Amino acid sequence: MSRSQSDSNSLSLFVQCVEKVPDPRSSRGQSYTFPTLLSIVLLGLLANVTTPTELARWAKLNFNKLRKFLYFKKNKTPHGTTFSRALEKLSLAELQNAFLLTEFVYFFTMMRVLLNYRRK
């Protein structure tokens, strides 16, 4: 398996895990899918991005990379307030349940790949 296939498989697994987390938001006025928001948050944390405002800035700087594997309805990234509102309703238990033990191992393998991808 080539590196690009490995990267693609790892990113697909990551997105599959994130898609298992239930969306706690109301259906009204959603500009971004919950898996997209959560993916940006988790990837941002790996890049040592810790506030919603920094997340928005980081996502904007990395938009071209992110849109290769995340879905954006619009051609722009979420605002810091969007991250704040989504995260305040997130259940940690549901997030943990989305990453079962088997997938958890793959998740960390994929994170290593993503960190290498980020350095390019």
Tens digit of pLDDT for each residue in 20-58? 888 888 888 788 999 999 999 999 988 999 999 999 999
Whole-angstrom Cα distance, residue 21 to residue 97?
A: 8
**Stated pTM of the model:** 0.74
Of the pLDDT bands very low, low, confident and very high (cuts 50, 70, 90), residue 94 is confident
Query: Do 34 and 25 form a contact (C-beta atoms < 8 A)?
Result: yes
- The domain containing residue 33 runs over which residues? 3-118
3-state helix, strand, coil in the chain (%, to 5): 65, 0, 35
Q: Does 83 score more than 90 pLDDT?
A: yes
Of the candidates 59, 64, 24, the residue with the CA atom closest to the CA atom of residue 39 = 59
How many domains, the chain? Answer: 1
- Residue owning tokens 């590196």: 3
